[in-house]
Structure 1
Amino acid sequence: MSIHDIRVLDSDDELIQAGNVFRTAMIGFAPLDTAQRDLIGKLAEPGRTLGAFVDGSLVATADSAAGTLTLPGGARVGHAAVTHVGVLPSHTRRGVATALLGHQLRDIAARGEVVASLRASEATIYERFGYAVASSSGTVELLTQRAALRPGVGAGGPVRLLDAAEVWDILPRIYTANRPPRPGTIDRPAVWWQGQRLRAEAAPGARYVAVHGAPGAETGFVRYHPVGTDAWFVSGERTVVVDDLFAPTEEAYLGLLRFVLDLDLVDKLVFGMLALDDPLPWLLRDRRAARLTGTRDETWLRVVDVAAALGSRAYTGTGTVTIGVTDPLLEANSRTLAVSAARVESSTTTAQLEVDISAVGAVLLGGTSWHDLALAGLVRVNDTAALAVADELFRVAEAPFSGIYF
């Protein structure tokens, strides 16, 4: 087998074909329906959907959306949100994905984007392409009858429900105007919002959206829906799933939290994605009313320009550590850098810590420690004292978190 062509897909017919290749690869998705086919051009950014062809047939695809990612300290760098990666089951384990994702990384680098990230369907695929888990999220179940807030918890601001007709105009504006400085935050591009709208409108049952703040000056929102409604009025476990809680300020967080806690006829709230350092349990008189039922990897980060990525984030402490990086796919990243709070610069000295590029992605946002990576055999330690220095430099005040899947 030979891969004759990897190229950008630009016609609607090719984009529809690519969408169905991805859905076939994922197994759990039906082919694109008529409405989705008609909107295919709005679900992909022009020039960023790639296809791999074997003997003239499309057998694999991947695309991405341009935006920015927030680093520790608040700086934003160019970011590619990689998604819809799929290879037909008839062509897996033949080097197709390797060729396609390598091609995509070189394209992202040529565009000047500093990092790429994705949400992985499997945990064993992407590390060989230089990706690593950089942030995680938690699922929390809250029993509403026991979820009284402590007396000192603030009230938050006003919250109101939105009509369905205004949701998809207002929410993107709220997000753009109130994007938080938390590490790992990314843009929500138009193609992401369009996908969310299609899923919401195609889903059976009721869905609701509430916003925090005065009209025209909203600062947060929550999207939620009930599950198991066939027996809603006789059930002893009426459950509402919180799909998207965007609350970047304390006022928005408290206002929206109180809103969902005060919903009538609800026995359990399920927050599908919360930051691992979310304060919710501390706000409750009975902290056991909130139960962390699972954590999952969220951001799989790929550093595309290691000097720009390390040079753009903030550091703590007063030490300096030299890091030797190896990147077999993007050779320009294979270099030694001296990192301190004052500067990041090339170094010709022997690296104290040696890593593959994937390890840089793991530590860049502060979501894991150098010590843990060394324990896992992912860091070659030439100077044991350097681990403590590196951990102090890369420490962050907030756990990295994005809050979305794409």
Structure 2
Amino acid sequence: MSETEKGTETGTGTVRAATRVLEVHEHRAALDLFRDSLHMPPVSDADWPVLEASLEPASVRGAFSGSGSGSGSRLVGVHQATASDVVVPGDARVAVELHHRFAVRNGHTRSGVGRSLMTAALRSATAPLAMLRASEGGIYGRYGFAVATRCRELVVDRRRARLSEHVPAGHHTYAPAAGEIAALLPVAYEGSRGGAGTVSRPGWYEALLTQDLESAGGFVRAFVHSGPEGEDGFARYAVRRVGGDGPAARTVLEVLDMHHGTPQAWAGLWRSLLDVELVDEIRARQRPLDEPVEWLFTDPHVCRTGAVDDETWLRLTDVGAALRARRFEGAGTVVIGVEDALLPANSGHYRVGPETAGGAGSGPQISGSVAAWSALYLGAVRPSALAATGALRVHDPRALKTADELFWAGREPWCGTYI
């Protein structure tokens, strides 16, 4: 039997869990367990068709109390991994597994069930990278993940906002009918995607996102930008009344999903958003940290940052393949030491440089956990910053400047897809 078929067992006290890939007929129970962990009711019959499509065969893993089979076992944990690709520094698209719907049943937490599931998923991975969004930041570092992209919420005073004369006019921006959005936006996304951290969206993504947004209330609309080579940007948004009926009441346009491939598309979309009438405020959620929205306006104070948060977490599951896949800038090379207790094959020394990235026989100049090197991979942080915290150990101080140059990607990575 394969490792997946045998399952992975772990436990503390009286709890013991065996993991295996779930059969399709078990998917609904797995989804209900996940929803229960978020204090949500079981999935309804009306919502099930869309949700069922997102639970791909062989993508969902369950943890069972007992042996994992028979009437005495019970589903106590769930995990899903979806195949995708992610843009890395140098513009290559590298295979990645998107980890999501990870939960342990109430009463079985802190008993090794989650570790059993994640260990089985990572050890069976075929992609060199794994990515997820964390609802709790203290969980995933123990599995080798680290924050790889960050984002901010922008709040624009639409009543006072005036575009500067230097802002490009854009090409052609239009508002598709509600019934056209589902077909247009996936095409526009692929036409605009390209920055480090962005991922391919599964075929079921659009329907699932639409269902989530509609269930949250509000009528979802969109603008699409068409350039010389076709649709190259879009902004999905909803307008809501907040603050009740008192003096604090205001109408807010929430930018829910926005991507653009050119400065003209970006400027054209912002022009259209600002032209929406009867709006007091624009809130753009989960935007790139280095998106220069403030510089669009004659008065930068009309745009403020509401919050800065982690966005995606990354893990190198095949360190050698991951290093070979991305481009490293600068001159010189550095030998890094990687420590990975969960995937021991990753542990070792790797020579990194513009022309080479592979195994090295010499001792490391800088060493640290796989989580630390995962944090650096897309360029969100520099080695010197992690060295200052102790997350990296510097054995050769001269190598730190070289490592900073090699791992810097030129701009902040960002994902913008909500899985």
Same fold (TM over 0.5): yes
AA at the equivalent of 2:192: N
> Residue 259 of structure 1: which of 272, 279, 294 is its match?
272
How far is the alpha carbon of 1:89 from its aligned partner? 1.4
> Residue 75 of structure 1: which of 83, 92, 100 is its match?
92
Deviations 1:169-206 (A, max 9, x none): 111122223321x1111111123223102213333232
Cα 1:118–1:151 shift into 2, 3 Å: same
Do 1:3 and 1:52's aligned partners in 2 also have CA atoms closer than 8 Å?
A: no
Specify the SS of the correspondent of 1:245. strand
Match of 2:9 in 1: none
CA distance in 1, matches of 2:228, 2:119: 46
CA distance in 2, matches of 1:194, 1:90: 33
Q: Map 1:3-402 to 2 at 5 A.
A: 3-12=16-25, 14-27=26-39, 29-55=40-66, 56-108=73-125, 111=126, 113-180=127-194, 182-213=195-226, 217-228=230-241, 237-402=250-415
Specify the SS of the correspondent of 2:250. coil
AA at the equivalent of 2:193: R
CA distance in 2, matches of 1:248, 1:360: 29
CA distance in 1, matches of 2:353, 2:372: 18
Cα 1:4–1:276 shift into 2, 3 Å: closer
How far is the alpha carbon of 1:312 from its aligned partner? 1.2
How far is the alpha carbon of 1:371 from its aligned partner? 1.1
How far is the alpha carbon of 1:43 from its aligned partner? 1.5
Aligned positions, number: 400
CA distance in 2, matches of 1:162, 1:247: 17
Moved more, 121-130 or 385-394: 385-394
Do 1:141 and 1:290's aligned partners in 2 also have CA atoms closer than 8 Å?
A: yes
Cα 1:208–1:232 shift into 2, 3 Å: farther
- Structural RMSD (CA): 1.9
AA at the equivalent of 1:249: T
CA distance in 2, matches of 1:216, 1:7: 46
How far is the alpha carbon of 1:147 from its aligned partner? 1.4
Do 1:60 and 1:86's aligned partners in 2 also have CA atoms closer than 8 Å?
A: yes
CA distance in 2, matches of 1:232, 1:185: 40
Do 1:45 and 1:191's aligned partners in 2 also have CA atoms closer than 8 Å?
A: no
AA at the equivalent of 1:35: A
Moved more, 193-202 or 159-168: 193-202
CA distance in 2, matches of 1:119, 1:183: 16
Q: Which runs of 5+ in 2 are unaligned?
A: 1-13, 67-72
Q: Which runs of 5+ in 1 are unaligned?
A: none
Do 1:171 and 1:221's aligned partners in 2 also have CA atoms closer than 8 Å?
A: yes
Cα 1:99–1:218 shift into 2, 3 Å: same
Deviations 1:131-177 (A, max 9, x none): 00011001010001221111111111211112222211111122223
Specify the SS of the correspondent of 2:351. strand
Cα 1:324–1:214 shift into 2, 3 Å: closer
Do 1:42 and 1:194's aligned partners in 2 also have CA atoms closer than 8 Å?
A: no
Do 2:222 and 2:237's aligned partners in 1 also have CA atoms closer than 8 Å?
A: yes
- TM-score using structure 2 length: 0.92
Specify the SS of the correspondent of 1:341. coil
How far is the alpha carbon of 1:277 from its aligned partner? 0.4
Specify the SS of the correspondent of 1:42. helix
CA distance in 1, matches of 2:90, 2:49: 42
Do 1:224 and 1:240's aligned partners in 2 also have CA atoms closer than 8 Å?
A: yes
CA distance in 1, matches of 2:186, 2:58: 23
Cα 1:393–1:230 shift into 2, 3 Å: closer
CA distance in 1, matches of 2:352, 2:102: 34
User: Percent same amino acid among aligned pairs?
Assistant: 34
Do 1:43 and 1:194's aligned partners in 2 also have CA atoms closer than 8 Å?
A: no
CA distance in 2, matches of 1:340, 1:229: 52
How far is the alpha carbon of 1:235 from its aligned partner? 7.1
CA distance in 2, matches of 1:231, 1:310: 52
CA distance in 1, matches of 2:227, 2:326: 34
Do 1:63 and 1:84's aligned partners in 2 also have CA atoms closer than 8 Å?
A: yes
How far is the alpha carbon of 1:2 from its aligned partner? 4.8
CA distance in 1, matches of 2:214, 2:74: 33
Do 2:193 and 2:259's aligned partners in 1 also have CA atoms closer than 8 Å?
A: no
CA distance in 2, matches of 1:132, 1:206: 35
How far is the alpha carbon of 1:214 from its aligned partner? 6.7
Do 2:349 and 2:360's aligned partners in 1 also have CA atoms closer than 8 Å?
A: yes
CA distance in 2, matches of 1:80, 1:178: 22
AA at the equivalent of 1:164: A
